[in-house]
Copies of this chain bind each other. A is one copy, B any other.
Amino acid sequence: MSGYSVFPVTGLPELGKGDDLAAMILECVELEDGDIVVVAQKAISKIEGRIVRLDDIEPSEQAREIAGDEEDPRRIEAILREAKSIVRIRPPLVICETHDGFICASAGVDASNTTEPDTLILLPVDSDASAAVLRDTLNERSEREVGVIVTDSFGRPWRQGTIDVAIGAAGIVVLQDMRGQQDSVGHELRSTVIAVADEIASAAQLVAGKLDRIPVTIVRGLDLRGDGRAQEIPVPAERDLFR
């Protein structure tokens, strides 16, 4: 393999509930076999209608307590509803496990880049399923075989700044297992499972940009077709040293 390229899908319109994202992508780009179509979570959430109005949320006592004077308790309430468990709280920061097992700030609930003011965008209910639907539609209409990754920007312990990671995937390798392969001097590689889907998400973020409204990026030239799902990524709670 000599290398790969990453480029944005430009020309997409603003997205709304019920939009046919596959059709929009195919109008903007000619896909090739093996392409990885990387889609920001917000694009999926918008077309799936995962948007709530702050005015429709009645905050609980717990939400008011966490919010204190600094935060909107309705926003905290939305976060608590999206959370399976709370991992850490340092008000107003709330780090949660989402219902599908990802640990992130605010359970992925986000206010920025919404098309309407006073609304919140929630994560897709099942990002692997969302990725699979998009992938199947793209494959069928383009007669190509592509992979799809749904991404979000997560902070992480110990290191400042966010990086984009995979929260949904279809048609590609997610965790690349190198265990048992021998390296160049015959040592067995240990603990070498590479989270390639997360690395692809990060590679895509570098062109997608937060301010440019470019929610779809193409990664071309990596041969990583497979049948991974982002649900493979979370560390099972009983093996997790950092909850």
Contacts and interface: CB of A to CB of B under 8 A. Distances in A.
Contact of A114 (B6, B105, B187, B194): B187
Contacts of A233: 159-161
Contact of A241 (B111, B157, B211, B240): B157
A53 B205 CA distance: 41
A192 B150 CA distance: 19
A167 B240 CA distance: 24
Given A6-B5, A202-B203, A195 B161 contact: yes
Interface residues of A, number: 71
Nearest to A232: B160
Q: How many copies does the complex hold?
A: 2
A240 B164 CA distance: 20
Contacts of A242: 88, 157-158, 242
B194 A153 contact: yes
Interface stretch (A19-27, A61-69, A134-142, A178-186): A178-186
Contacts of A190: 111-112
Contacts of A178: 210-211
A163 to B, nearest CB: 5
A209 to B, nearest CB: 8
A189 interface: yes
Contact of A160 (B117, B175, B241): B175
B162 A192 contact: yes
Contacts of A103: 157-158
Interface string A211-225: 101000000001000
A158 B88 CA distance: 13
A193 B175 CA distance: 26
Interface of A: 1-8, 88, 90, 95, 102-103, 105, 111-117, 153, 155-165, 175-176, 178, 181-185, 187-196, 198-200, 202-203, 205-207, 210-211, 213, 222, 232-235, 240-243
Question: A-B pairs with the 10 shortest C-beta distances?
Answer: A3-B7, A161-B195, A157-B242, A203-B203, A199-B202, A202-B202, A103-B158, A5-B5, A161-B193, A112-B187
